Amino acid sequence: MKVVKFGGTSLADAEQIRKVCKIITADPERRLIVVSAPGKRFKDDIKVTDLLIKCAEKRLEGGSAEEEADAVVARYGEIAEELGLSGGIVEEIAADLCRRLSADRSNRHKFMDFIKAAGEDNCAKLVARYLKKEGVNAVYVNPREAGMLLSGEYGNARVLPEAYEKLKELRHRRELMIFPGFFGYTPEGEVMTFPRGGSDITGSILAAAVDADVYENFTDVDYVFSADPRIVENPKPITVLTYREMRELSYAGFNVLHEDTTEPVYRKGIPINIRNTNRPDAPGTMIVPERNAQNGPVVGIACDKGFCYVFISKYMMNREIGFGRRVLQIFEEEHISYEHTPSGIDNISVIVKEKQFGRDVEERVVRRIKESLQVDDVYVERNRALIMLAGEGMMRTVGIAYRATGAFARAGINIEMINQGSSEVSMMFGVLEEDAENAVRALYREFFGNEW
């Protein structure tokens, strides 16, 4: 049995939905289908989820949100008409939205999640209806009845362990199941959504629950590429990637799958296959537990901007027991998650994401470090990028750092920090943001230049 998820661009209009239905019916193993809400049809288009957020915001400000709601209904209306769907599906969607918009607004987060969930829910109903019209024995599956039980964290929900017990029964249903992504219910019956892009998570949970042979994730790219095609021209496609490599690359800016996606399938060792709805014959990228690291030590190069270093120095720091803990405790108390802590004998840097380190937070943290740790110096450097080199083959290969630093030197790029995790499947370099693209290109030339 395959669990198959289609992203927003695969459901953006009637033509895309026809392609989706062709893909589904081409393989009888594809039995549990997860859909996103209709996404962008062209570059500056607005996703249905974003239209819904606007609706909710308007209502929360006290407006009627009529115009915004009409825009949502119009998107579905256009699709339904082009697919030749009659039987009142558009009226049902309009009534559903109207019911949601008149719900209680005293808790704004609760209201927002309830509205956001309408995108996937109605899309699943529409796709099921279309498949039925085409003669397929398809059904819409209600996540509440199916047991998609989530924690009570609005917009950031997590699956509850007990959900799996009920969800696994889906394996025995004979119909083709169309399951809306992105949301579920608390045990008390309240709608909760995952973080944005969270339909990937729904698919992963379902694949784990029914013990799928593979989790197919259809999007709008043929493969995961070894570097960002906006930075490197025509980068090498990755055909096989391990979960660990995927994690390292996603951490540093590869955004093929939502970050929380891999965990449920990873725990069960179920492979993920990233594929393209517009080119269903391309085999895509397989994400697997283990791979044969034959084709070169490095599989991908990623880069992410928006980091800052909090640099702390104190003479004889190495002799002071508990210094590191006390530094990190300040970050913990300020609710700042840190990324890395490279250190020397008398200094330590704490690397954090700039978006959680505004000027007011910076001022507080610096003051607290100065006061409670009696340091010689503490200052913050902003606009830093992290460049990540990842590959299972790096573990057994001598000279990776030598080659990487040589490539940086030839490109005239100063490395401010090097971090090799103890797993040895990745190596990370801290550079100035303005050097980030050149750094990726330099590493790409070094590790992929000749073979591609």
Tell me which residues touch ligand ASP (CB under 6 A): 8, 36-37, 47, 49, 119, 181-182, 196-200
**Which residues, including other chains, have CB under 8 Å from residue 321's CB and lie 6 or more apart?**
none
Scan for tokens 């989790």, then name that residue.
215
Closer of 47 and 59 to ligand ASP (Cβ):
47
With vertex at residue 227, the alpha carbon angle to CA 241 and CA 198, rounded to the nearest 5 degrees, is 65
Residue from 303, 344, 313, 337 nearest 429 by CA? 303
Closer of 58 and 196 to ligand ASP (Cβ):
196
Nearest distance in Å: CB 33, ligand ASP: 14
Q: Where are the alpha helices (DSSP H) in 256-358?
A: 262-268, 323-333
Closer of 203 and 253 to ligand ASP (Cβ):
203
Nearest distance in Å: CB 259, ligand ASP: 12
By beta carbon distance, the residue nearest ligand ASP is 199
Nearest distance in Å: CB 169, ligand ASP: 24
Residue from 266, 110, 255 nearest 196 by CA? 255
**Which residues, including other chains, have CB under 8 Å from residue 199's CB and lie 6 or more apart?**
5, 7, 34, 35, 36, 120, 181, 182
How far is residue 177's CA from residue 44's CA, in Å, rounded to a whole number? 32
Nearest distance in Å: CB 258, ligand ASP: 7
How far is residue 398's CA from residue 367's CA, in Å, rounded to a whole number? 43
| Rounded alpha-carbon distances, angstroms, from residue 72 to 18, 66, 80, 198, 280 | 20, 10, 13, 20, 29
Nearest distance in Å: CB 201, ligand ASP: 8
Closer of 119 and 264 to ligand ASP (Cβ):
119
Closer of 8 and 391 to ligand ASP (Cβ):
8
Give, rounded to a whole angstrom, the gap between the first and last alpha carbons of the chain: 36
Scan for tokens 């470090």, then name that residue.
369
Nearest distance in Å: CB 225, ligand ASP: 21
Closer of 217 and 347 to ligand ASP (Cβ):
217
Closer of 8 and 253 to ligand ASP (Cβ):
8
In three-state secondary structure terms, 116 is: helix
Nearest distance in Å: CB 47, ligand ASP: 5
Phi, psi of 195 (to 5 degrees): -65, 165
Nearest distance in Å: CB 77, ligand ASP: 19
How far is residue 360's CA from residue 60's CA, in Å, rounded to a whole number? 29
Closer of 74 and 316 to ligand ASP (Cβ):
74
